[in-house]
A and B are shown apart, each in its own frame.
Chain A
Amino acid sequence: MMKNLIAVLTVVFAIIVIWYGAAFMMNKQWTLDQAERAGTTVTTSEVFKDTMAQERPQLPAPHQVISEIWKTTVEKKITSKRSLIYHAGITLSSTSLGFLMGSLLGITLAISIVHSRAMDLSVMPWIIASQTIPILAVAPMIIVVLNAVGISGLVPKAMISMYLSFFPVAVGMVKGLRAPDTMQLDLMKTYRASAWQTLIKLRLPSSMPYLFTSLKIAMAASLVGAIIGELPTGAVAGLGARLLAGSYYGQTIQIWSALISAAVLAAVLVMLIGVLQNITLKRMGMLR
């Protein structure tokens, strides 16, 4: 445990050092240009100080991002349009709905693929093909088409999350539902078990390790989908909207704080599934 902590902290420390170095290198040209225009000379230490505190740096320094996150989370009311928690909440709601729909769709597809050879042969290639279409190109179409039939708000964004998240679940669960070996399937056959009984009593429990692994990937994909879904909606609200607004106005600090919030959100969500995975598999005796 202690060893792990030291390793993690070392990596974090290294990243921060590199980040500061990069911020200095990338921002110093602007400082030098400013000084030249004003006809003054600056010392290296002055340049360094300036690169750490620019308003629109090429790359904001870590402490700038942290203080921006602090200002827009702790010091803002959650209901404020400038609160990152407010925006994260909006993204979280479409992520969750999309994740739920995607997982259900993925599991349903996997069950039908495992039970029907026709489905296996006909649907599987389409599932794979669906993921080769760049979602960035499809997302605006989904939003526009759904808007035309009167569906707007949460659902279209969740649909994009679903589009990205059903795939890992479908592929993982096909493998998981096929995990029982011939002997275990033969045993069910000697009992004259129906396909449904075999599914409930053998295939589904056996697939649990695969399910949780694919749910983790699906969760991360859902978040990406939700953020992409927020881009063409006119950038009203959500972490994606913050990213877009930030890039419109050259607010790099805002972009980076939205990015880091998204990363933290993804980490927390995936960790939650990890905890659920540990509890479930331990109780099922599959983690020994």
Chain B
Amino acid sequence: MSENSVIHAEKLNLVFQTNDGSVHALKDIDLTINKGDFVSFIGPSGCGKTTFLRVIADLEQPTGGTITVNGMTPQQAREARAYGYVFQASGLYPWRTIAGNIKLPLEIMGYSKEEQDKRVEQVLELVELGSFGKKYPWQLSGGMQQRASIARALSFDADILLMDEPFGALDEIVRDHLNEQLLALWARTEKTIGFVTHSIPEAVYLSTKIVVMSPRPGRIADVIESPLPKERPLEIRDSKEFLEVAARVRDGLRAGHLDD
């Protein structure tokens, strides 16, 4: 375990007990995520990618192995408000304005009124929604709503950002744009990001590290350190390196499926 490791899992197992017997959602997961990494989890449904993210967030309890977040247990990390979590749906409150929605965690965490206003303004700029603070969620497009929910997760001082298919419900064009913005945001904030997706181009475009997972039992099939530079214009997706990484991800996914 190196100095700048943020999330460290060793022999992590999670078995769900259901009415149809037990489901091995995570099997022997060994993974280290370093500070400033952008890690994507990719795999077919049932491979445990979302479950692993939820274990990091202390929303699921592992049944075996160890995991540390910022050197603490996930529960301690959650209680120290170590991460911001972005769900697939924006989950904005219809009865609050965009600014009001972003204030929600700040109110809960007891920030002062002035601090709340200052931070709301900052994060709205960060996700390019500067002039939308007074609008209500229904007045915004789906992509803008999702950006607002990212702003909400960034509003407090957490240096980990966990995202569970945040753009899954959006169309391709909006998605490209948001991916570009997310990279810029990551570069500026230097957060550590865990990102669940089922899109190969999205995973390769965004990540410094790609974790390919396969189902039944959910396990890691391959971990790919991306050779792509930190600066990534959208055109990079036509480069040779990009296509090679994408091919390797595809191979990893296919290998997982051969067991079926």
Contacts and interface: CB of A to CB of B under 8 A. Distances in A.
A192 B74 CA distance: 12
Given A191-B81, A285-B138, A205 B95 contact: yes
Given A201-B107, A201-B108, A190 B91 contact: no
Interface in B61-85: 78-79, 81, 83-85
A184 interface: yes
A191 B108 contact: yes
B89 A183 contact: yes
B107 A183 contact: no
Contacts of B94: 284-286, 288
Contacts of A192: 78-79, 81, 108-109
Contacts of B104: 191, 201
A281 to B, nearest CB: 9
Interface centre among B89, B91, B137 (most CB of A within 10 A): B91
Contacts of A205: 93, 95
Interface string A176-213: 00000001101111111100010001100100000000
Residue among A183, A184, A191, A288 with most chain B CB within 10 A? A191
B108 A285 contact: no
B59 A189 contact: yes
A119 B163 CA distance: 36
Contacts of A284: 94-95
Chain B interface bracket (under 10, 10 to 19, 20 to 34, 35 or more): 20 to 34
Interface in B186-241: none
Contact of B87 (A186, A193, A285, A286): A186
Contacts of B107: 201
Nearest to A287: B94
A270 B136 CA distance: 30
Interface string A270-288: 0000000000000111101
A188 B87 CA distance: 12
Given A186-B87, A190-B85, A285 B59 contact: no
Contacts of A202: 93
A191 B109 contact: yes
A196 to B, nearest CB: 10
B57 interface: yes
Contacts of A286: 94-95
B105 A191 contact: yes
Contacts of B59: 186, 189-190
Contacts of A283: 95
Interface string B37-79: 0000000000000000000011100000000000000000011
Contact of A190 (B83, B89, B136): B83
A197 B138 contact: no
A187 B85 contact: yes
Contacts of A191: 81, 104-105, 108-109
A267 B57 CA distance: 51
B150 to A, nearest CB: 13
A187 B87 contact: yes
A285 B89 contact: no
Contact of B138 (A183, A187, A201, A288): A288
Nearest to A183: B87
A126 B253 CA distance: 55
A189 B104 CA distance: 13
Nearest to A288: B138
Contact of B137 (A184, A190, A197, A285): A285
A164 to B, nearest CB: 31
A187 B138 CA distance: 20
A186 B50 CA distance: 14
A234 to B, nearest CB: 49
A184 B105 CA distance: 12
Nearest to B95: A284
Nearest to A186: B59
A183 B50 CA distance: 13
Contacts of B79: 192
A3 to B, nearest CB: 28
Nearest to A283: B95
Nearest to A187: B91
A193 to B, nearest CB: 5
A184 B94 CA distance: 13
A190 B84 contact: yes
11 contacts: A186-B85, A190-B78, A190-B85, A191-B104, A191-B109, A192-B79, A192-B108, A197-B108, A205-B95, A285-B95, A286-B95
Given A186-B85, A192-B108, A285-B138, 10 more contacts: A186-B59, A187-B91, A189-B58, A190-B83, A191-B108, A193-B108, A197-B108, A205-B93, A284-B95, A285-B137
